[in-house]
Amino acid sequence: DVKVTQSSRYLVKRTGEKVFLECVQDMDHENMFWYRQDPGLGLRLIYFSYDVKMKEKGDIPEGYSVSREKKERFSLILESASTNQTSMYLCASSLPGTLNTEAFFGQGTRLTVV
């Protein structure tokens, strides 16, 4: 059974804290993604990675960075958390896009910044 696992379901952090959201996949997928989901806005891509140590900005990268040191792990970093980063964060992985396969999603991390 394919699996994308996010380290936390719920997280509460203080403004200004450095926050790490971790995601691990066991499918040997090249691509990994971080999205945030907000009511009325759907899923918006923050960053994605198509290989180890490779990354590309998505639509809303400001205030975030990522790290991919190993193929199976993709971390999202909030350098200095702010209240407007309170959201649901979803990690996904997939084979290369040219293969027309779907992306698999984790269960999500609901982050609250107070």
Partner 1 sequence: AQKVTQAQTEISVVEKEDVTLDCVYETRDTTYYLFWYKQPPSGELVFLIRRNSFDEQNEISGRYSWNFQKSTSSFNFTITASQVVDSAVYFCALRILTGGGNKLTFGTGTQLKVEL
Identified binder of partner 1 from the candidate list 45, 60, 67, 71, rule CB under 8 A: 45
Q: How far apart are CA 114 and CA 106, in angstroms?
A: 24
Stretch that binds partner 1, among 11-19, 20-28, 48-56, 61-69 (CB under 8 A): 48-56
Residues 6+ apart with CB under 8 A from 13: 19, 78, 81, 111, 112, 113, 114
Closest to 58 (Cα-Cα) out of 34, 29, 76: 34
Q: Could you count the other beta carbons within 10 Å of the beta carbon of residue 51? A: 12
- Examine residue 10 and tell whether it contacts partner 1 (CB under 8 A): no
Residues 61 to 90 in contact with partner 1, rule: CB under 8 A: 88, 90
Smallest separation, CB 22 to partner 1 (Å):
16
Under the rule (CB under 8 A), what is the footprint of partner 1? 31, 33, 35, 40-45, 48, 50, 56, 58, 88, 90, 92, 94, 96-98, 100-108, 110
